[in-house]
Each structure stands twice: as C-alpha cells, then as structure tokens.
Amino acid sequence: MKVAVTHINLLQRTAPAHTAAWTLAALLALAMVGTAVHGSKLRSQAREAVSRRDDVAQQLKEVQARLAIQNGEQIKSAATLSLRKEIDALQAQAQLAQALIDAARRVEGGRTDEFARPMVAMTGLNEPGLWLTGLTLSAGGKRLEVQGQASNGASVLRFARRANESLQPLTLHLDSLEVQPIGVAASGAGTGAVSFRLY
C-alpha cells in the first residue's frame, strides 16, 4: 500500500511573472534619479570651482600688475618678495580649482547613459519560472552580471539567449554561465530548480 505524499515546492515563485520586470524598472528609475542628483551636485561643484578659479585669476592679475609696477620702478624690497609669495600661493589655488573642474567634467561627461541603456534593455525581459536576484553593472557600463534562480536549466538558457539579443545593440555580451542545482534532497534527487550567474 502506497502512502499519498504531497509535494510542495518552496522555491516556486508565488508572485506574478512580471514582478521581475517591475523590480528592474524600479531599479532603473532609482538609478536614473541617483544619477540626476549626483550630476546636479557635480555641476554645482563645477560652477563653484569655475567661480573660484575666476576670482583667483583676477587676484593673480592684480598682484601681477602691482608686481610689474614695482619691477618697473626697480624697487627691491620686502613688499616685492611678499607679492611674489602671494602669486605663488594663488597659482597653487588656481591649479587646484582647475583640477576640480577637470575631474567634474570627466565624471559628468555623459557616462550616465552607459549605465542606463543596459538596465533599460534588461527590464523588457521576462521568462516564466525565472527570477533575478541581482544585476551588477561595472567597468563604466561595459560589464554586466546577472544572478537569479529558475525552476529549471532550460529557462536559464532561454533567458540568456533573449538577454544577449536585447544587449547586442549595446555591444554587451553575456558569454559565461554558472548554474548550480538548489533544493537537493538527502536522497540526492533534486527538484530541478537552479541558481545561476550569467556574465
């Protein structure tokens, strides 16, 4: 006589299949808001640095004019040495302000699109029986890593193919796949569910 056994898959997804898409869309929105806030801070710092550089440049011109007058009169005094030291100090400040401006321009130089485009491409992907647990963009938006779980390995392969198709215009490729079974019972029989890392 066989005993009736009820199997419950605790790893099966209970939320609607489109939750992953909404999650990715929310992540994209948060990333875009963060990028906008960070960009506005950088622009504000750049404006302050430009203003500071202009002020220092104006002070430098005034000091140089005073020094030229003193040199024209051939006065070698303590005032001339003081002005020379003041010029040297102002030049260091001007170089520091210019370095800050250059750094802000390099950081702000349109790189936000490099991160946003892959996120937008990934939000349109939906594979039944598969859900994402992590998405990492690095190397200036040139390297993408996706982590998740699926009810079976075939779902992962379909997702990888569709992800590569959507990322192809961005010249991004997910060429490596690591798959590990999850939910293996003591008898060694698994449920078929897998966790994966695609990069």
pLDDT at 86: 84
Once rounded to an integer, what is the mean pLDDT over residues 111-126?
74
Per the prediction, the chain carries an average pLDDT of 80
How many angstroms separate the CA atoms of 175 and 181, rounded? 20
**Close Cβ partners of 83 (under 8 Å, ≥ 6 residues apart):** 63, 66, 67, 70
57 in any annotated domain: yes
Q: List pLDDT tens digits, range 149-190.
A: 999 999 999 999 999 999 998 888 999 999 999 876 555 555
Beta pairing, strands 194-198 & 143-150: antiparallel
Once rounded to an integer, what is the mean pLDDT over residues 116-143?
82
Q: List pLDDT tens digits, range 12-41.
A: 565 555 777 788 888 999 999 988 888 888
CATH of the domain at 145: 3.30.1360
Structure tokens at 46: 């750049």
Number of domains in the chain: 2
From 73, 108, 143, the end of a domain falls on 108
Range of the domain at 123: 112-198
Same domain, 78 and 151: no
10 in any annotated domain: no
The vertex-198 CA angle with 193 and 199, nearest 5°, equals 170
146 in any annotated domain: yes
How many angstroms separate the CA atoms of 130 and 151, rounded? 6
